[in-house]
């Protein structure tokens, strides 16, 4: 992915706090925007947003 849609960019920047978004919030955002969670993860990488509080307990 080279670019992030404006809708996803705006939603992520609004949802992120200090460059972080909780995993559950990222998944909910994917459902709300009707996009694949992988797209949200890739968009976070491109925007420099880190995912925390992993639902699997992998990234705390």
Is residue 60 in a domain? no
Task: Look at residues 9, 2, 14 and name the one whose alpha carbon lies nearest to residue 44.
Answer: 9
- Give the tens place of pLDDT for each residue, 1-58: 678 999 999 999 999 999 999 999 999 999 999 999 999 999 999 999 999 887 776 6
Please tell me the total count of domains within the chain: 1
Domain with 34, as residue range(s), is 6-52
- Prediction pTM value: 0.85
Per the domain annotation, does 35 fall within a domain? yes
* Assigned domain for 25 exists: yes
In this structure, what are the phi and psi dihedrals at residue 50, rounded to the nearest 5 degrees? Answer: -100, 140
Residue 57 counted as domain residue: no
Is there a domain that residue 59 lies in?
Answer: no
Mind giving me the DSSP string for 31-45? HHHT--HHHHHHHHH
Is residue 17 domain-resident? Answer: yes
Decide if 21 is inside a domain.
Answer: yes
Contact yes or no for 23/30 (Cβ under 8 A):
no
């Amino acid at each position: 992915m080279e670019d992030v849609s404006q809708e996803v960019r705006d939603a992520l920047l609004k949802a992120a706090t200090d460059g972080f978004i909780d995993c559950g919030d990222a998944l909910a955002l994917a459902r709300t925007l009707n996009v694949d969670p992988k797209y949200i993860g890739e968009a976070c990488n491109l925007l420099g947003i880190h995912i925390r509080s992993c639902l699997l307990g992998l990234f705390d």
